[in-house]
Amino acid sequence: MNDFEQQRKSDIRPVNPGTFTIPEDSETPPELTGGFCPSCRASYYPRPKYCPGCLGEVTVRPVGRCGTIHSFTIIRTRPPLGLPQPYGVGFIDLAGTGLRVFGLLDPDQLQEMRIGDRVCLSVRELGHDGRGETRVRPVFTLESGSTQ
């Protein structure tokens, strides 16, 4: 059973609704959901209420799912929100968007990750919401065969 099937069966809510997709079927991969300003032709993640460039309306749009690790760190102190110890965070340059996003890295792959590796978004049950309720979070995992 994959992460999508587990999430549908357990009906666990996402940590930040609207910032990533949880597809209905296991064939469709998740994506980050950001914004796009049609006037400035600029993409944003997370989606701002108004475009920082022109103050125009920003539409909801998928901004991608795969990219390259720009930088990352492994944090070994006591983690917040029930995250595993250690946990990793990093900056990911999303392919084809010009966006650099900050996100969680797959805790099971931290020792194999290197700057420049290709990663893709997945969703999984990870941690809680601060009140003890389990949440689904987006994490970046290594793309097959991407380690240097």
In the predicted structure, residue 118 carries a pLDDT above the cut 90: yes
In the predicted structure, residue 4 carries a pLDDT above the cut 60: no
**65-109 pLDDT, tens per residue?**
999 999 999 999 999 999 999 999 999 999 999 999 999 999 999
Q: With contact defined as beta carbons under 8 Å apart, do 59 and 42 qualify?
A: no
Instruction: Supply the pTM of this predicted model.
Output: 0.86
Please give the CATH number for the structural domain made up of 3-142: 2.40.50.840
Q: Which pLDDT score is estimated for 1?
A: 43
Q: Which pLDDT score is estimated for 9?
A: 40
Q: Which pLDDT score is estimated for 52?
A: 96
Q: Enumerate the domain spans of the chain.
A: 3-142
